[in-house]
Amino acid sequence: MDKHEHREKTIGVLVIAAGQGQRFTEAGGATDKLQAAFADASGQVKSVFVHSCQAAQQSGLPVCVVTRPAQQAIRDYCEQQGIPTVLVENTHMGESIAAGVRQTAAWDGWLIHLADMPFISAATLRLVASKVVEEGIVRPVFRASPGHPVGFGRCAFRALSALTDEQGARSLLVQFPLYTIELQDTSILQDIDLPSQLPAGESPAVAQRSGYAPGAELD
């Protein structure tokens, strides 16, 4: 390649799956929320985490998962799929993002994809990735409500890799230029915090039939 030729930028998906999901279990969930399961459009029953991670895989973008050592089900899935993982002992969103960004320092940009948002599609991930610019942050919105995933350009690397707070990367939204993408897609707002938020009133007990052991989740 000619030294003056621009190489293609690498925008990857950082799946954050390191929280504890206390609200889910306190509300009666029979398992942690990332291992609660529901059927996809084809009728296949998969855990919340697998729904989220498969969207990232199907996007065609590089994928890395941040989780905790105790989340064996997630670690096993990633090993089977050849997905690199970053293990963290904390449950703070900021520290999890920082660990993942440091591990993927060769990327030119990052989509922060929360593992408890299983309705976000591969197409949405690709679209947001295509809008990532080096000097700013890209965020999808639905009717003026901000959603996920949030895309960060290379300029945010140092700030992302130094995060320590519990609010994730929210503090960075005022430090860098913010660009929004208006989408007619409510999935960018939908997460799973409570058993009642599982599709079609799925019971948390469904997770016990899915073959997945407890794993990680996000608050």
Q: What is the pLDDT of residues 145-195, one digit of tens each?
A: 999 999 999 999 999 999 987 766 778 888 899 999 999 999 999 999 989
pLDDT for position 19: 81
**Mean pLDDT, contiguous 10-residue spans, the chain (219 residues):** 60 93 78 89 91 98 96 96 95 91 97 97 97 94 96 96 80 90 96 87 37 27
pLDDT for position 67: 97
Alpha helices for 168-216 (secondary structure H): none
Closest CA to 64 of 12, 107, 109, 8: 12
Quote the CA–CA distance of 160 and 16 in Å, as a whole number. Answer: 13
Quote the CA–CA distance of 156 and 136 in Å, as a whole number. Answer: 7
3-state secondary structure of 92: coil
Instruction: Give residues with Cβ within 8 angstroms of 52, minimum separation 6.
Output: 15, 17, 113, 114, 115, 116, 117, 118, 120
Closest CA to 17 of 79, 80, 61, 72: 72
Enter the tokens of residue 13: 């998906």
Enter the tokens of residue 129: 């990735």
Task: State pLDDT tens for residues 82-94.
Answer: 999 999 987 789 9
With residue 66 as reference, give the H or E element that holds it: strand 63-67
Q: What is the largest CA-CA distance in the chain?
A: 60
Instruction: Give residues with Cβ within 8 angstroms of 3, minimum separation 6.
Output: none
Enter the tokens of residue 169: 């990367």
pLDDT for position 169: 77
